[in-house]
């Protein structure tokens, strides 16, 4: 989580430096970016968890069939 927060903060700082928009639009853009990045992180972590669950279940199945 710390690494994701660092990356988010770096991107926000970059947008801040490059942005010529008003403060209101800037805050809206950052808010939308944070929501999207949160969902992306959620889906990635969910996929990783499902991968390990699948491996775990398949190992149990293989172990039972070997007995």
| Element of type H or E holding 48 | helix 23-66
How far is residue 45's CA from residue 47's CA, in Å, rounded to a whole number? 5
Q: Please classify residue 41 by burial: count the beta carbons closer than 10 Å to its beta carbon, then call 0-12 exposed, 13-18 middle and 19+ buried.
A: middle
Please give the pLDDT value at position 1: 61
Predicted TM-score (pTM) above 0.85 = no
Domain regions of the chain by residue span: 2-66
Please enumerate in sequence order all residues whose Cβ is within 8 A of that of 32, keeping only pairs 6 or more positions apart, or say none.
Answer: none
Question: Is the model's pLDDT at 57 over the cut of 80?
Answer: yes
pLDDT tens sequence across 4-56: 777 777 777 777 666 655 555 556 666 777 777 778 888 888 888 888 888 88
């Amino acid at each position: 989580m710390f690494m994701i927060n660092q990356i988010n903060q770096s991107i926000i700082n970059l947008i801040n430096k490059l942005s010529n928009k008003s403060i209101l639009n800037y805050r809206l853009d950052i808010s939308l970016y944070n929501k999207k990045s949160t969902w992306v992180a959620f889906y990635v972590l969910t996929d990783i968890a499902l991968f390990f669950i699948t491996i775990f279940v398949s190992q149990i199945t293989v172990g039972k069939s070997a007995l």
